[in-house]
Amino acid sequence: MRKSVALRLSCLLLALFALIGCASQDHAGHASTAGTQQANTPMLEELSIPLQVALDPSPAKNVQENTLRITVPAEHAAKLETATVSVSLTMPNMDHGAIVFAAAKEKEGAYVAQIVPTMLGDWLATITFELDGKAMSAAYPFRVEP
């Protein structure tokens, strides 16, 4: 009798801990997922393809070539095989237009662009895949420092 009560109690406690654990983990998970999603894996919404984007150096250097690597997950790469890829740089808080760079295909699913930002501050790289006359874009924010 006593044993079963203790067992029940510990079960209850366990459940409670699991709940609390889940709740806080969920919260942290959401925050970090949103951050990562924004920073490193912008979504090609039309095809639900998360792109992996890496900038080198990061933050980018002003008025210099910076390497932007775009990787399409292997299971999606074939869909974009014939796409033309370009990167358009803008500053969201400014009004001076865009600078467009072509991205070269290194191999299936791997593209690289040498981008040259021309001002310090916050930039947005709009990565565009043109496929069969249709353009699909994903946005990658980044910062430029001296």
> Using CB under 5 A as the criterion, which residues of the chain lie in contact with Cu ion when the complex forms?
91, 94, 119
**CA 63/CA 117 separation, integer angstroms:** 6
- Distance of CA 31 to CAs 26, 53, 81, 84, 130, Å? 9, 19, 33, 33, 32
Q: How far is the CB of 124 from Cu ion (least distance, A)?
A: 11
Nearer to Cu ion, 122 or 130 (CB): 122
Q: Are 117 and 123 in contact (CB under 8 A)?
A: yes
Q: Are 141 and 124 in contact (CB under 8 A)?
A: yes
Q: How far is the CB of 101 from Cu ion (least distance, A)?
A: 16
Nearer to Cu ion, 73 or 97 (CB): 97
Q: How far is the CB of 122 from Cu ion (least distance, A)?
A: 9
Q: Give the closest residue to 90 by CA, choosing from 64, 61, 115.
A: 115
Q: How far is the CB of 95 from Cu ion (least distance, A)?
A: 8
Nearer to Cu ion, 110 or 120 (CB): 120
Nearer to Cu ion, 91 or 125 (CB): 91
